[in-house]
């Protein structure tokens, strides 16, 4: 079976006053149809840039400098600009972080969605509105027909995010990239949307890349997890294995600092220090200064270990728990 999305060696660089900064460094992963991949990292780890790079939405001064992006077998980067544009929205779609900002404030929901329908399909405006209404119903928006006539500011944040998700679903793309779509929402709404997305992935066989900083959220609903640190993927594996048995010291740190995994009153372990600036990465393994198992060896580039379906990029991967 072809993967819905496969990324190989993706590298994105930004030219800044202080020189070239590599925001995404040799990132590789793949997602099968109907699966959810959680792309986890702290802010500044390059996870959002990874999403935009895959979509081909990196603007100056940034540039994707290397890598291959296969969307059900087709390398996006080998296509012309127009062909790439035609794939966006049809084969690969994206949902953004802040639902307050992603919809055009002065256009009706129906008009915005109809535009998204008609860019890839020659249909009448009526038919496009019908398609939009159907999409809103799929994501569980009540009285969808009326909502189409609304302007974004008349809807709640959760509603707007559902509209954005419905827009992404219009053409039943192979992959949807979701860039922290629930971060800006209330916790109760967050749960509903997560359940909805999981159901959609299962029912429509859409692959989903769920970008988040929240390990607790992703652990319960992703099939696989990829952990990013300083622009690189440091560990990948199935959600269960990564959570139960982290092999990278950074992953372990992340898991240990999730409050829900601890007893009330217990002191929460923290990862010392802060995420490094991409322009000032330490030599060797970028996590070295914050790592409690680092030694001299870590001054070199960390090697990748393939461990029975898992992949860890570390000089001193942790032992598997018994």
Partner 1 sequence: MLSYLVTRLAQAVVVVFAMSVIVFVGVFAIGNPIDVMIDPGATQEIRQQMIEKYGFDQPLYVQYWTFLENVFQGDMGTSLVYNIPVIELVFSRFPATLELVLVAVGIAAVIGIPAGLWAGYRPESKSAKLIMALSVLGFSVPTFWIGMLLIMGFAVELGVLPSGGRGDVGSFLGISTSLATADGWSHIILPAINLSLFKMGLLIRLTRAGMVEAMSMDYVRFARAQGLPDNQIVFSHILRNISIPIVTVFGLELGSTLAFAVVTESVFTWPGVGKLIIDSIMQLDRPVMVSYLVLVVILFVFINLAVDLIYAWLDPRVRLKGGA
Written as one string, the DSSP assignment of 178-232 is EESTTTTS-HHHHHHHHHHHHHHHHHH--EEEEEES-HHHHHTT-SEEEEEETTE
Choose the stretch contacting partner 1; rule: CB under 8 A; options: 113-121, 181-189, 226-234, 261-269. 113-121
Helical (H) or strand (E) element with 21? strand 19-31
Number of H helices, E strands in the chain: 11, 12
- With CB under 8 A as the contact rule, the residue among 22, 102, 219, 251 that binds partner 1 is 102
Site string for partner 1, 58-97 (x = CB under 8 A): --x------------------------xxxxxx--xx-x-
By CB under 8 A, is residue 156 in contact with partner 1? no
Give min distance, CB of 237 to partner 1, in A: 29
CB 171, min distance to partner 1, A: 9
Q: Is 197 in the site for partner 1 (CB under 8 A)?
A: no
Contact 180, 48 (CB under 8 A): yes
Strands, sheet with 36-40, edge to edge from the N-terminal-most edge strand: 92-95, 175-179, 207-212, 36-40, 224-229, 232-238, 310-313, 304-307
Judged by CB under 8 A, which of 55, 128, 230, 312 binds partner 1? 55
- Name which of residues 227 to 286 contact partner 1 (CB under 8 A): none
Burial of 174 from C-beta contacts in 10 A (0-12 / 13-18 / 19+): buried
- Of 197, 222, 130, the C-alpha closest to 170 is 130
Nearer to partner 1, 59 or 319 (CB): 59
- Reading the block at residue 65, the tokens are 């400098």
Residue 74: CB atoms within 10 Å: 14
Select the residue interacting with partner 1 from 161, 167, 219, 236 (CB under 8 A): 167
Question: Looking at 13-21, 41-49, 51-59, 288-296, which segment touches partner 1 (CB under 8 A)?
Answer: 51-59
d(CA 193, CA 311): 30
Q: Is 103 in the site for partner 1 (CB under 8 A)?
A: yes
Contact by Cβ (8 Å): 53, 94: no
Given the complex with partner 1, which of 117 and 225 has the nearer CB atom? 117
Q: Smallest gap, in angstroms, from Cβ of residue 9 to partner 1?
A: 23
Binding window for partner 1 (CB under 8 A); candidates: 54-62, 67-75, 239-247, 248-256: 54-62
- Kindly list the residues in this chain that would bind partner 1 in the complex (CB under 8 A): 52, 55, 57, 60, 85-90, 93-94, 96, 98, 101-107, 115-116, 119-120, 151, 153-154, 164, 167
């Amino acid at each position: 079976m072809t993967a819905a999305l496969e990324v190989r060696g993706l590298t994105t660089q930004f030219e800044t006053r202080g020189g070239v900064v590599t925001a995404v460094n040799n990132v590789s992963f793949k997602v099968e149809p109907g699966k959810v991949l959680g792309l986890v990292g702290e802010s500044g780890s390059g996870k959002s840039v990874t999403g935009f790079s895959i979509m081909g939405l990196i603007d100056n001064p940034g540039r994707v400098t290397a890598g291959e992006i296969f969307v059900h077998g087709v390398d996006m980067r080998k296509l012309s600009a127009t062909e790439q544009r035609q794939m966006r929205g049809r084969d690969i779609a994206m949902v953004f972080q802040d639902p307050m900002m992603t919809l055009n404030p002065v256009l009706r929901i129906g008009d915005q969605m109809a535009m998204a329908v008609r860019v890839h399909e020659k249909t009448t405006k009526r038919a496009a509105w019908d398609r939009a209404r159907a999409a809103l119903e799929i994501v569980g928006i009540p009285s969808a027909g009326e909502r189409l006539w609304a302007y974004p500011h008349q809807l709640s944040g959760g509603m707007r995010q559902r509209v954005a998700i419905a827009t992404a679903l219009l053409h039943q793309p192979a992959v949807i990239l979701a860039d922290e779509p629930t971060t800006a929402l209330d916790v109760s709404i967050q749960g509903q949307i997560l359940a909805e997305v999981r159901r959609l992935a299962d029912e429509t066989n859409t692959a989903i890349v769920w970008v988040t900083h929240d390990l607790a959220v992703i652990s319960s609903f992703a099939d696989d997890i990829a952990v990013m640190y300083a622009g690189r993927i440091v560990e990948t594996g199935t959600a269960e294995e990564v959570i139960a048995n982290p092999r990278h010291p950074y992953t372990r740190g992340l898991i240990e600092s999730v409050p829900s995994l601890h007893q009330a009153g217990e002191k929460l372990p923290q990862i010392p220090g802060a995420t490094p600036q991409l322009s000032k990465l330490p030599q060797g393994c970028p996590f070295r200064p914050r790592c409690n198992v680092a030694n001299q060896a870590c001054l070199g580039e960390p090697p990748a270990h393939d461990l029975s379906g898992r992949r860890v990029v570390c000089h001193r991967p942790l032992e598997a728990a018994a």
